[in-house]
Amino acid sequence: MTEIEEFYDDFIQQIYTSADVGEDFKESQFFEKSMEYLLDDGIVEDFTYLPFQKIGMKIDGYEFIEDRAILNLFICDFKDDYELKTLVQSEIELNIKRLTKFFNQSIEKKFYDDLEETSPGYAISYFLYHNQTRFESINIILVSNKKLSDRVKKLPSESISNYQVSYDIWEIKRFFDIESSKNKKETLEIDFESDFNTLIPSLPAHVSTSPYHSYLCVINGEVLSKLYEKFGARLLESNVRSFLQFRAKINKGIRKTINENPSMFFAYNNGITATAEDIELTNDNKIKKLKNLQIVNGGQTTASLFNTMKIDKVPLTDIFVQMKLTIINDDQVNTVVPNISRFANTQNKVNDADFFSNDIFHIRMEEKSRRIWAPAKEGELKKTKWFYERARGQYLEIQSKLTDAKKREFKEINPKPQLFSKTDLAKYLMVWENKPHIVSRGAQKNFIEFGNIIVPRWNKNDKEFNDMYFMHTVAKIIIFKTCDAIVYKEPWYGGYKANIVAYTLSTFSYLLEKEKLSIDFSKIWKEQKVDLFFEKEIRNISKLINDYIINTPENFTNVSEWCKKELCWTKLKDLINHTNEIILSDTFKNYMITKEELNYENKEAKKEQKIDNEMEMLKKLYKFTPEQWKEIQTWGLEKKQLTPEEVKFLNLIPSGKYPSDKQSKRIIQILSKLEDEGLIIPS
């Protein structure tokens, strides 16, 4: 079995987690999984999944990037097969033909008039017809679980009406290449000389012995704007992309300077900070090419330049922007770039939650996922683990270092269906925070809001995030996946699965809070499944939720957009509070535990986590070098946080003495106090 076949086997096994629920459901799972790659790479910024198929027509979703007037149309080519198949030219052309027919019928013949209002096809067709003057270019993106044939040498070149059209194919080899690369992103090559007919003047700003090469550059505003027009969010480092929420409003100061005083733009603007993995220079230090350029500060400047040029129709040829560029090789890009991003953005109103992606919370969740064994499922003998992928590609990266026998063992212990990512985690937990409207807004926006909730909790008491928290998280994942599969199989289901699942589980959470009850998450963890009575309740509640969300107010014709509004959730709560239309059955409530029981569990788990924290700190004590001990003491004395007695305790280990248990506990208390005051404890 080749590496790509092995990757496909893992990939398809994850899709088949919910086997026996029909090929269509597997296709929807594959589509959503594919979109994760495109979102992470910045190829798309959000998407609405509304699969529709009729003889001669097919479409699976769309995205409208308003600030760049771009419409992305998605079509999925999924083959339900354990064996990796080949995607050939005729299949590509057939898929494109089906999608373009749907598009043309929608904008020319009001195709939505022939469809039921609750149909996913209606929502897309209605949107296309009523917004056709708002987009200028169309990207048709085909995702497939097949491997692109080597015989496919070119993509279709059909045009649609008066629009600029481009075509892109994301297939299994492309996903494999991303997972196999060190930086987990598709390479972005920028050739300034051939693509933009320019070179970027630069001045080296590093010494020859420096591990990183840096340059001070001046980039023309028109070139920067065209870069953003062409590559969009792919240019923006992930933290900046999330901070801007992909929809950067025009900065009024930037707009005014461009329109009224363009010659002073360079003097007034802070410029941008960027990184790249490789650089090609001319003999006089002008930049010809950059590999994987990422703007880590100045995303708003970049987007504002583009939008001002587009809206005000002003030329940017006389606008110049300073750029600080650092070249970082791909071995260190995942550790160094986020730090540059963090420090470069301190001038802006960016809080810790915006950089939550690399937070210690995720490190702890990763540690627990590697350590904690899940109970064996009914009828099985072996225990397994739920693998938390803190950084994309970890699951494959670990296997790449193992022998074939060890690799098989790893997969048995960490089955692919029990793999979950950071954005998955945010989705699974935010529904229980009563935020279905946030979950409905997409993975990236939901992840940032999740950080806004978790960071303050961590800062207040990190012991809340203990072993039980991890186990209950897994229980919530099991509930989510169960609900997902149930909804898709229901006879009334017609689309909007993601919205129905989010609102259904948040409704459970809200109703139980009113009753001062809780699901017994510990029981679900122990059994690794939900009981039949719970499945029945999911069927009942999800049907009511579906009826609620598709019955949109008059000013909302798009169900997906309605579900993103906080008003949608507010009105649902009003309905729950003032009617008996959505209630939990007595049978279901009898199986619940009380809040007091849950609080007792939490209290005991926090005690255990406190012990774990102390043990972790104890291990660190003996790894500190004499220099690190000295730095700790110096910091504490300069900040006036250490008494002479505390200094004596901190000198015990570096002086070669072995402190008693009581003394060790005292040292840990001192270090914890310093950490609370801002000291960064060496790792």
- Between β-strands 593-594 and 419-421, what pairing exists: parallel, antiparallel or unpaired? unpaired
Coil, helix or strand at residue 515: coil
The whole-angstrom separation of Cα 242 and Cα 240 is 5
pLDDT digits (tens, 9 = 90+) for 350-382: 444 445 665 788 988 999 999 899 998 887 878
Which pLDDT score, from 0 to 100, does residue 551 have? 92
The whole-angstrom separation of Cα 2 and Cα 5 is 5
Which pLDDT score, from 0 to 100, does residue 548 have? 96
Does residue 448 have a pLDDT over 90? no
Segment 518-535 shows an average pLDDT of 93
Task: Please identify, among 546, 565, 598, the residue that sits at the C-terminal boundary of a domain.
Answer: 598
Which pLDDT score, from 0 to 100, does residue 106 have? 94
Neighbours of 586 (CB within 10 A): 7
Question: Identity (one letter) of the amino acid at 377?
Answer: K
pLDDT band at residue 335, thresholds of 50, 70 and 90?
Answer: low
pLDDT digits (tens, 9 = 90+) for 41-57: 778 878 888 899 999 99
Which pLDDT score, from 0 to 100, does residue 635 have? 87
Segment 274-287 shows an average pLDDT of 92
pLDDT band at residue 23, thresholds of 50, 70 and 90?
Answer: low
DSSP 659: -
pLDDT higher for 401 or 17?
401
Task: Please identify, among 301, 323, 350, the residue that sits at the C-terminal boundary of a domain.
Answer: 350
pLDDT higher for 443 or 181?
443
Q: Strands, DSSP E only, in 536-594? A: 593-594
* Same-domain pairing of 391 and 518: yes
Closest by Cα among 589, 590, 616, 486 to 542 = 486
Does residue 493 have a pLDDT over 50? yes
* Same-domain pairing of 127 and 196: no
* Same-domain pairing of 446 and 538: yes
Q: Is the dihedral of CA 171, 419, 236, 241 positive or negative?
A: positive
DSSP 202: E
DSSP 377: P
Which pLDDT score, from 0 to 100, does residue 615 have? 66
> What is the separation, in whole angstroms, between the first and last Cα of the chain?
40
Inter-residue contact 188 to 293 (CB < 8 Å): yes
Range in 11-15, 208-212, 643-647, 649-653 the model is least confident about = 208-212
Segment 150-171 shows an average pLDDT of 83
The whole-angstrom separation of Cα 311 and Cα 306 is 9
Does residue 77 have a pLDDT over 70? yes
Task: For residue 553, give its domain range.
Answer: 360-598
The whole-angstrom separation of Cα 46 and Cα 654 is 53
DSSP string spanning 83-138?
SPPEE-HHHHHHHHHHHHHHHHHHHHH-GGGGS-TTSHHHHHHHHHHHHTTT-SEE
Which pLDDT score, from 0 to 100, does residue 611 have? 65
DSSP string spanning 404-428?
HHHHHHHHHHS-GGGEEEHHHHHHH
The answer to whether position 613 is within a domain reads no
* Same-domain pairing of 157 and 80: yes
Crossing angle between the packed helical segments 3-15 and 172-180, to the nearest 10 degrees: 110
Segment 126-135 shows an average pLDDT of 91
Which pLDDT score, from 0 to 100, does residue 352 have? 46
Q: How far is CA 600 from CA 156, 394, 603, 605, 606, in A?
A: 62, 35, 5, 9, 10
Q: How far is CA 120 from CA 36, 127, 493, 551, in A?
A: 21, 11, 11, 14
The answer to whether position 662 is within a domain reads yes
CA 212 to chain CA centroid, Å, is 29
Q: In what order do the strands lie in the sheet with 70-77?
A: 48-54, 57-65, 70-77, 137-144, 164-170
Does residue 596 have a pLDDT over 50? yes
Which pLDDT score, from 0 to 100, does residue 618 have? 65
Which pLDDT score, from 0 to 100, does residue 613 have? 65
Coil, helix or strand at residue 191: strand
* Same-domain pairing of 503 and 637: no
Does residue 243 have a pLDDT over 50? no
Which pLDDT score, from 0 to 100, does residue 573 have? 97
Half-sphere exposure of 673 (CA within 13 A, CB side): 17
Which pLDDT score, from 0 to 100, does residue 218 have? 94
The whole-angstrom separation of Cα 77 and Cα 99 is 12
* Same-domain pairing of 166 and 258: no
* Same-domain pairing of 575 and 637: no
Does residue 12 have a pLDDT over 60? yes
* Same-domain pairing of 44 and 65: yes
pLDDT digits (tens, 9 = 90+) for 81-106: 889 999 999 999 999 999 999 999 99
pLDDT digits (tens, 9 = 90+) for 197-238: 999 999 999 877 777 889 999 999 999 999 988 888 788 765
- Between β-strands 147-148 and 272-276, what pairing exists: parallel, antiparallel or unpaired? unpaired
Number of domains forming the structure of the chain: 4
The answer to whether position 614 is within a domain reads no
The answer to whether position 656 is within a domain reads yes
The whole-angstrom separation of Cα 494 and Cα 488 is 9
Segment 441-464 shows an average pLDDT of 86
Coil, helix or strand at residue 207: coil
* Same-domain pairing of 130 and 153: yes
* Same-domain pairing of 585 and 629: no
pLDDT higher for 145 or 648?
145
The answer to whether position 244 is within a domain reads yes
pLDDT digits (tens, 9 = 90+) for 527-580: 999 999 999 999 999 999 999 999 999 888 788 889 999 999 999 999 999 999
Question: Which tokens belong to 320?
Answer: 């110049």
Question: Identity (one letter) of the amino acid at 634?
Answer: T
Segment 125-137 shows an average pLDDT of 91
Radius of gyration of the chain (CA): 27
Which pLDDT score, from 0 to 100, does residue 420 have? 93
* Same-domain pairing of 64 and 12: yes
Rounded to 5 degrees, φ, ψ at 201 are: -65, 140
Segment 405-428 shows an average pLDDT of 91
Question: Identity (one letter) of the amino acid at 524?
Answer: I
pLDDT band at residue 338, thresholds of 50, 70 and 90?
Answer: low
User: Could you tell me the pTM of the whole model?
Assistant: 0.72
The answer to whether position 682 is within a domain reads no
Task: Please identify, among 158, 180, 202, the residue that sits at the C-terminal boundary of a domain.
Answer: 180
Range in 107-116, 595-604, 629-638 the model is least confident about = 595-604
Which pLDDT score, from 0 to 100, does residue 466 have? 85
Which pLDDT score, from 0 to 100, does residue 354 have? 46
The number of residues making up the chain comes to: 683
Rounded to 5 degrees, φ, ψ at 279 are: -140, 145
* Same-domain pairing of 127 and 207: no
Does residue 157 have a pLDDT over 90? no
- Between β-strands 86-87 and 57-65, what pairing exists: parallel, antiparallel or unpaired? unpaired
Q: How far is CA 21 from CA 34, 294, 551, in A?
A: 20, 42, 27
The answer to whether position 443 is within a domain reads yes
pLDDT digits (tens, 9 = 90+) for 304-316: 888 888 888 888 9
The answer to whether position 605 is within a domain reads no
